Amino acid sequence: MTDALKVVPSETEVNSGVRDVDALAKGLADVLADTYRLLFKSHAYHWNVEGPLFYSLHNLTEEQYENMFEAADELAERIRALGKLAPMTMKGIMDASVIEDLDEVPSAGKMCADLAADHERIAHRLHALIELADEHKDAVTEDLATERSAFHEQAAWMLKAIGAQ
């Protein structure tokens, strides 16, 4: 094995003026965990939705999980830019996430309601991260969290509009 293959990722010190990078990296990692869990759930509902709203929900969930896939990379890269390691285990993702699985196979309406509630949960966590980033002089994380919150708030609204009775 060459020496290049022996390099192990490590944390680095980044002196950009951001204070308490540990707290910020944890907040970002929590949102990343939620993003991965909801990405999978959205993808699973995309595969399994049935009924008259199939086409609409199939396309909407695809648009949303593709957005979250790209966002996961942005969130992880922000953690690295702060000098910390991004999550590396699925157990870590599962433990850090507030997103839960349903104990049933949901109807199309229940899928909409479940996904909308999950998007709102992530938006709440992002609002807390925005405040934390502001307190610790991290405008980059604040901007990223604001952008992500806007996506999740819009996603919740769209899902609620489709699932409205």
Q: Helix %, strand %, coil % for the chain, to 5?
A: 75, 0, 25
- What would the pLDDT profile of 85-133 be if each residue is shown by its tens digit? 999 999 999 999 999 999 999 999 999 999 999 999 999 999 999 999 9
Whether the Cβ atoms of residue 33 and residue 97 lie closer than 8 Å to each other: yes
End-to-end alpha carbon distance in the chain = 61
- Say whether 153 sits in a helix, a strand or coil: helix
* 13 torsion bin: left (phi>0), alpha (psi -120 to 50), beta (else): beta
Q: What global pTM score does this model have?
A: 0.93
**Domains in the chain, number:** 1
**Has residue 88 been placed in a domain?**
yes
DSSP result, 78-146: HHHHTT-PPP--HHHHHHH------SS---HHHHHHHHHHHHHHHHHHHHHHHHHHHHTT-HHHHHHHH
Q: Looking at residues 37-57, what average pLDDT do you find? A: 96
Per-residue model confidence (pLDDT) at position 106: 96
**Domain at 87, CATH number:** 1.20.1260.10
Q: Would 3 be classed as within a structural domain?
A: no
Q: Answer whether residue 38 is part of any domain.
A: yes
Residue 164: what pLDDT?
64
What residues make up the domain containing 67?
19-98+106-163
Helix (H, G, I), strand (E, B) or coil at 62: helix
In a domain, 152, yes or no: yes
